[in-house]
Amino acid sequence: MDKFNQIQKQIALLQSDFKIEEISLNDAFNRVLQEDVLADTYMPPFNKSAMDGYACRLEDIKNELECLEVIHAGMVPTRTIGSNQCAKIMTGAAVPEGADCVFKVEESETVEGNCVKCTNPKTHKNICYLGEDYQINDVLIKKGTLINVSQMAVLAGAGYHRVKVSVLPKIALINTGSELVEPHEKPEHGKIRNSNASQVISQLKRMNIEVNHLGIIEDDYDILTQVFTKAFKENDFVIFTGGASVGDFDWVPKILEDQGFEIFWDRTGMKPGNPMTFSQKGDKYCFGLSGNPVSSMVQFELIAKPVLYKLMGAKFIPFRIKATLDFEYSRKKGDRLAIVPVVINNKGLVERVPFNGSAHINSLVFANALMEIPTNQTNLNKGDLVYVRPL
Ligand code: AMP
Ligand code: MG
């Protein structure tokens, strides 16, 4: 089994005692639901008109109909519809007793007196029936769901004005590298701006997680150890960028080992982004991401994010689709899973973007997806199907 797939198996086995809190509905978007959402009513709760029109008996559709009343939304009809009778009715209003059809106001004509006639005898019934969407006690949303926009509406419809969700983890971010300067600084020779902080912070923001950003720390074992031990006391997770590899000043793996962390993995089997550690001590965790910006981004997206969601008790399935390649792809070695920035164009085809490797974050400015080339695959033809992950 290749390394990346092995990591997926390890992620699936992770367990944690995440805490649960109850929050108000309007704060629940993009949080991990920690209860099954049950229906306390039928939906629709009554036979409901789908149109503005006239409610009548379908068998009378060709006749002139006497109009008994006007039923607006929210009102209880007062009359029962009998032979050759109707009621004017608004969208969302309760269909009166006796009626089994609503014809549209656009398909009606007024006849003398208080009567109307349907101009389309082949009308649909235009009724949303009691309980056709769901029944009392149906499970509407399952525990573990990452709450999306439409689920916000379903929660409201089911009366969940308070929602049980996972508590968000406290996360500290440390950017290691003696060559790093802040974005507002002009790098001198040999220096480089810290582009990982804003990237990782926004990845976490997308997950609703605030970050305790501890800034740039130089590649010094003692200083890094000091910052790390404080960070790991005060947070659930520490994320390092940089220093995760085998260079003389790549201290992260050594610090984790010296601090007694159990290392789950120290490489990912991905290109870019092979060196990455994930480790645990008690109920605290640490990611050591690569310093190269494309690597850290890909590592976060494909590995750190699923880990965080798993540890928050979410049933998270990364969104991948199979799309058709619009260019020839080849690489020399197929020893790792290749992750390649691409554009899914307006025809749904996968297009190339210029990409020079793990430091080339500017390439991602033009990309809207990451393409996966499986281990051992070195060539792909135009027209082949590939997995892509929209960004
Ligand atoms: P490292 O993982 O520390 O070996 O770094 C790999 C490469 O990424 C080096 O060229 C670093 O200068 C660069 N790098 C490390 N950290 C950052 C960062 N925060 N922002 C931009 N580039 C970085
Ligand atoms: Mg470094």
pLDDT per position as a tens digit, 296-344: 999 999 999 999 999 999 999 999 999 999 999 999 999 999 999 999 9
CA separation for the pair 174, 172 (Å, rounded): 7
Q: Determine the pLDDT at residue 351.
A: 97
CA distances from 168 to 94, 175, 315 (A): 43, 22, 15
**What is the rounded average pLDDT of the residues 203-224?**
97
Please give the distance, rounded to the nearest whole angstrom, from the Cα atom of residue 177 to the centre of ligand 1.
7
Confidence (pLDDT) at 294:
96
Q: Could you identify the atom of ligand 1 that is nearest to the CA of residue 243?
A: 3
Q: Taking the mean position of all CA atoms in its chain, how far away is CA 126?
A: 34
- Predicted confidence (pLDDT) at residue 246 exceeds the cutoff of 90: no
Within 167-249, strands assigned E span 171-176, 180-181, 192-193, 211-217, 237-241
Closest by Cα among 290, 246, 242 to 270 = 290
Ordered by where they begin, the domains of the chain are 20-42+133-166 (3.90.105.10), 48-128 (2.170.190.11), 171-311 (3.40.980.10), 321-390 (2.40.340.10)
pTM (predicted TM-score)? 0.93
Phi-psi region of 208 (alpha: psi -120 to 50; beta: other; left: phi over 0): left
Q: One-letter amino acid identity for 145?
A: T
pLDDT at 113: 87
Residue 178 Cα, ligand 1 centroid: separation in angstroms?
Answer: 10
Protein residues whose CB sits closer than 6 Å to any atom of ligand 1: 175, 177, 179-180, 192, 194-196, 241-245, 247, 250, 290-293
Neighbours of ion ligand 2 (CB under 5 A): 177, 242-243, 291
pLDDT digits (tens, 9 = 90+) for 11-37: 999 998 889 999 999 999 999 999 999
pLDDT for residue 138: 98
Residue 241: per-residue pLDDT? 98
